[in-house]
Structure 1
């Protein structure tokens, strides 16, 4: 193999490339004439290595996450890798079943900074040391040509949308999702401001601001807030009735009445896209102070983004409902034994009081008037007890007619006073309750504290019910 000829052939062709992609593709094509290797060039685009040229494989990896595989290792370190036996290297990413050896060298700019990698894989014996020298020389020439042509190719808008869609899918909360959706709308559209309007039971509202909004976005939010729910409702209704809309970037034409607040804020370019269904969804507004002409492709990408945002938001809301159902009593809406166990595990000795509560004579209500009457009693009593507790106190339903309140107090007497308030609240509903109070002792398990509260409750029952008893410290 005449390696000097390989270098000359590639070097002669590189100046004819008019783009970085052409330079990579011609390098791979020229190399393929001299070796049966699987050859690829991967360049850094945003946060991944993207394959921009390849030959000799039935399938190649389109993108590779940072530091993944031999290619990621070489890019991160800036040092070549010669792997004589790929089965012995845990970082090897298989692209064909018969590969035995891999050579990967960094593609560097003239200042020595990595732009990507040149990767070769063989399925037959090869002089790796000789090819390592040749590949390094070619990678250096390729890197210089890429820089001369303006650097690696920019991330396409569809690639941006895919990246942002992944971020929205991974968002753990509504807030994080809105932040991801707004960032995506700005990035993919190329416009400077993005705002979400969300439907709600009390009328449309502005989605929470995310990050540090620019001046136009801040002005738009202020104008929309001043316009009020009625104006926001008209915008939502228009978008959901008629579909997406966008400006043509023509000067001197007045905005429609619905979008006057946006024009007053300084928006001259606007894309409006409905999100989800009219009653529970919203509206994505993407704007700019410049007079621009968004093409239909931009609008299509915003529609795809809005669809993904709604899918993710609907999933988060569904999961929240399921979590609520899993942790709450369906009758009273109070949290039940699972969350209660987690809460008492955090009890502070001498400060956290457990109030074991039992409804007096509840079985007679069920036996005499039926379970529906008993259910109504429990619901009404739960609301009365909640109303008698302080802000931050917690009430749980732990059994049929059994409740537990978890409160923070400074002294045991304070816990007793709160328990007495609960008995008074129960009497106002026409029922009575018995309450046992216990404060955790140092080193005592939560289960033992609750058992002492139950024993204090039984003491009230023995004394005639409708009262409070404090367990011994």
Structure 2
């Protein structure tokens, strides 16, 4: 008589409970997890169980019943009641034989399972047939989807992965077809990571927003933060505001707009569809929760990036130091990667005459000057007190010498001079050996009177 799958499971549990004191539960496969949809009371009922976890996961994965007379001896047992000693778990299968869940019974009496395995298997078969007649296990609810996506966003290793996860979550939870993140930036609002193929609504929305005046995007963000989340009712004949014109040109008929993060540095999440729909307040609330989780995860990634940068950088000059330098030169390409060993001429006299604060100012000024003289993609490291190394990629040794000479000219403009030794990584040569040759070339400059460049022999 059950009209829903949940009712069928609840009535099954209630009927069995009238004939045995066991703790009884039915768990069904819902989006790669076993979700408990009916159970008798116990100390702890697990809402969901990961795939293959516990005896229930083992039975579901194998499709084979399990009778456990001593749960303490089974490493897969998931404790639900302190007095449980025995368990019977049988698969709930569709008529075709594919398990869609499990029926689980647990007793405090070790003899409890003996007469019940056959009964449990017959009841589970009837339940599986009824579940199939009712359309299969219940679909994942929107709140369950949100929890699953929130976990995915928390685990995202990069900002790109996070934005991709957030956009995918917005589409899945809202059931609308497109989602776009617009975030504030130093150069103005920018779009988050794309996640779909060109040609659909989301790609059209992105194209229109990318071509729109940045002021329009700024007003979309400001509107959401000033007035809160908003949505259309999908009714034709009502003209959009000017700020929404790019979305209308893309084909948007239904829109949910939710603020993300703080007004000064956050953005807006736009979730849209080309169908005429009527979003409900619950959808908007779920999008607000999603936006909040996405921002918290983004803030965490930014904080971690700052910590990594601090750990990998020289606190005085901001240049990367010995740890990253070692990793970089380990990836040197023979014949193309050049190491430029740099030493500040007469730096000890600055510290001795004017003090360490003056010496620090000299180092910071030189670091900025040398960075400015390098090309895009060249890297500068501080590996000692007044010792720097530039790692560059070149086609010819003469190109590396030319860049070293640019560095010496940049140093002279600060009122200081430097000596530079240049060495190209050789075939089968270790990075340490290349650096030693660069140092030897540097000392050759020192012996000649400093303020110059010398190319090490290959």
Q: Which bin holds the TM-score, normalised by the shorter protein?
A: over 0.9
Greater mean alpha carbon deviation, residues 203-212 or residues 71-80: 203-212
Q: SS where residue 353 of structure 1 aligns? A: strand
1:22 aligns with 2:7: yes
For 2:125, the equivalent position in structure 1 comes to 140
| 1:312-461 matches, cutoff 5 A | 312-348=297-333, 351-409=336-394, 414-439=399-424, 445-461=430-446
Q: Is the alpha carbon distance of 1:214 and 1:314 closer, same or farther for their aligned partners in structure 2, counting shifts above 3 Å? A: farther
1:86 aligns to what? 71
> How large is the Cα RMSD of the aligned pairs?
2.2
Partner of 1:204: 189
The correspondence for 1:61, drawn from 29, 36, 46, is 46
- The whole-number CA distance in structure 1 between the counterparts of 2:427 and 2:163 is 45
Q: Unaligned 5+ residue runs, structure 1?
A: 1-15
Q: How far apart are 1:233 and its partner, in Å? A: 0.8
Alignment partner of 1:168 is 2:144: no
Decide whether the 8 Å contact of 1:178 with 1:210 is kept in 2: no
What is the CA distance between 1:472 and its match in structure 2?
5.0
In structure 1, distance between residues paired with 2:123 and 2:382: 73
Residues 17-49 of structure 1: CA distance to partner in whole angstroms, max 9, x if unpaired? 111101101111111111121111000111211
Query: Is 1:51–2:36 an aligned residue pair?
Result: yes
The 5-angstrom pairing of residues 289-300 of structure 1 reads 289-300=274-285
Pair 1:106 & 2:85 matched: no
Instruction: Give unpaired runs (5+ residues) of structure 2.
Output: none
How far has the Cα of 1:66 moved from its partner? 1.0
User: Which of residues 175, 178, 183 is equivalent to 2:168?
Assistant: 183
Secondary structure of the equivalent of 1:356? strand
Tell me the CA shift for residue 390 of structure 1.
3.9
Q: Distance in 2 between matches of 1:230 and 1:186?
A: 26
What is the CA distance between 1:445 and its match in structure 2? 4.7
Instruction: Report the CA distance between 1:279 and its aligned residue.
Output: 1.6
Structure 1, residues 73-128: CA drift from partner, whole Å, max 9, x if none? 11112121222222222211111222222211110111111110111112213264
1:465 equivalent among 429, 450, 458: 450
TM-score calculated relative to the size of structure 1: 0.90
Decide which of 58, 66, 81 is 1:73's aligned counterpart.
Answer: 58
Structure 1 residue 375: deviation in Å? 3.6
Give a deviation string over 1:237-276, Cα, whole Å, max 9, x none. Answer: 1111111111123332112222222222222211111000
* Contact 1:75/1:117 (8 A) holds in 2: yes
**Judging changes above 3 Å, is the alpha-carbon distance between structure 1 residues 443 and 214 closer, same or farther for their aligned structure 2 residues?**
closer
Please tell me whether the aligned partners of residues 36 and 56 of structure 1 are also in contact (alpha carbons under 8 angstroms).
no
Aligned to 1:10: none
Q: Give 1:69 deviation, angstroms.
A: 1.2
Q: SS at 1:219's partner residue?
A: helix
Are the counterparts in 1 of residues 107 and 113 from structure 2 also a CA contact under 8 Å?
A: no
* Residues 412 and 216 of structure 1: CA distance in aligned 2, closer, same or farther (over 3 Å): closer
- Note closer, same or farther for the CA distance 1:201–1:349 as it changes in structure 2 (3 Å cut): closer
CA distance in 2, matches of 1:391, 1:233: 31
- What's the counterpart of residue 6 of structure 1? none
Contact 1:193 1:213 in 2 (8 A): no
CA distance in 2, matches of 1:435, 1:100: 77
**Separation in 2, partners of 1:446, 1:88:** 56
Q: Normalising by structure 2, what TM-score?
A: 0.93
State whether structure 2 residue 156 is matched by structure 1 residue 156: no
Q: Which shifted more, 417-426 or 81-90?
A: 417-426
Q: Would the alpha carbon gap of residues 346 and 251 (structure 1) be closer, same or farther in structure 2, given more than 3 Å must change?
A: closer
Contact between 1:192 and 1:216, CA under 8 Å: does it hold in 2? yes
Give 1:13's aligned residue: none
Q: Flag the 1:213–1:179 CA change in 2: closer, same or farther, 3 A.
A: farther
Q: Using the alignment, how far apart are the partners of 1:257 and 1:346 within structure 2?
A: 53
Is 1:261–2:250 an aligned residue pair? no
Alignment equivalent of 1:218, drawn from 187, 196, 203: 203
* Aligned positions, number: 458
Counterpart Cα distance in 2 of 1:116 and 1:412: 68
Question: In the TM superposition, what is the alpha-carbon distance from 1:299 to its structure 2 partner?
Answer: 1.0
Cα deviation 1:170-190 (Å, max 9, x = unaligned): 111111111111111111111
Bigger shift: residues 168-177 or 118-127: 118-127
Partner of 1:124: 109
Separation (CA, whole Å) in 2 of partners of 1:240 and 1:93 = 46
Which shows bigger deviation, 199-208 or 249-258? 249-258
Q: Is the 8 A contact 1:352 1:440 kept in 2?
A: yes
8 Å contact 1:193–1:214 — kept in the other structure? no
Using the alignment, how far apart are the partners of 1:116 and 1:50 within structure 2?
Answer: 9
Native 8 Å contact 2:343 2:419 kept in 1 = yes
In the alignment, which residue of structure 2 is the partner of 1:280?
Answer: 265
Cα contact 1:353–1:440 (8 A) shared by 2: yes
Residue 213 of structure 1 and its aligned partner are, at CA, apart by 6.3
SS of 1:392's equivalent in the other structure is coil
Deviation at 1:142, TM superposition (A): 0.1
Residue 435 of structure 1: CA displacement? 1.8
